[in-house]
Amino acid sequence: MNRLKQYYQEKILAKLKQELNIKNDLAVPRLKRIIITMGIGDSCRDKGLRDKIVAYMSAIAGQKVQFCQTKRSIAEFGIRQGDSVGIKATLRGERAYEFLDKLCSIVLPRVRDFQGVKANAFDQNGNYNLALKEQIIFPEVDYDKIDRIRGLQITINTTAKNKEEAYLLLKELGMPFEKN
């Protein structure tokens, strides 16, 4: 079992249960899934470049990625229906906890002038969205093999019912929120 998931089950579960005044263990907020997305719109026609992007995105996620295709053509952007304009990976279970552990302890501290992540990026359903400007902060990405700096979006989906519960959960899991 992953060390973060084990820590959640041994310590965080009881603490959140007491803080949120919940009686049932299954009603306590927990990590549901993590979705990592990256736009590849400018390189959708170049197969070699697209394969290179898929390779390092797969290394970041730890699993194979999916292509996101357009639903309709947009002439102004030079996009045809069915073109691949993005890639995504959905991490669940052990992989989600492993990725969150790596994100909080290794990746985010490598961001230049890091003061913490924003605490106001929660939606009404208890999900957290984090945008990273560069993929080179991940240790799996070889700096010499990338063509240019690309950003990616990370969505942390929880079973929390509101922002406050999700904030408490992620804070206990080790998410480095900025100081007020």
pLDDT in tens, 28-42: 999 999 999 998 876
Three-state DSSP class for 13?
A: helix
Query: Which amino acid makes up residue 34?
Result: I
Name which residue leads in pLDDT, 154 or 51: 154
pLDDT at 61: 92
- Is a pLDDT exceeding 70 seen at residue 160? yes
For residues 44-72, average pLDDT? 85
For residues 90-104, average pLDDT? 93
pLDDT tier, 122 (very low <50, low <70, confident <90, very high otherwise): very high
For residues 153-157, average pLDDT? 95
For residues 80-88, average pLDDT? 84
Burial of 173 (0-12, 13-18, 19+ CB in 10 A): buried
- Give all strands of the β-sheet with 84-92 in edge-to-edge order: 66-69, 84-92, 31-39, 152-158, 128-132
- Is a pLDDT exceeding 90 seen at residue 171? yes
For residues 46-53, average pLDDT? 82
* Cα 59 to Cα 21: distance, rounded to the nearest angstrom: 40
- Is a pLDDT exceeding 70 seen at residue 43? no
Name which residue leads in pLDDT, 161 or 50: 161
CATH number 3.90.1150.10 is the correct assignment for the domain at 3-173: no
* pTM beyond cutoff 0.85: yes
pLDDT at 44: 64
Range of weakest confidence among 11-20, 122-131, 143-152:
143-152
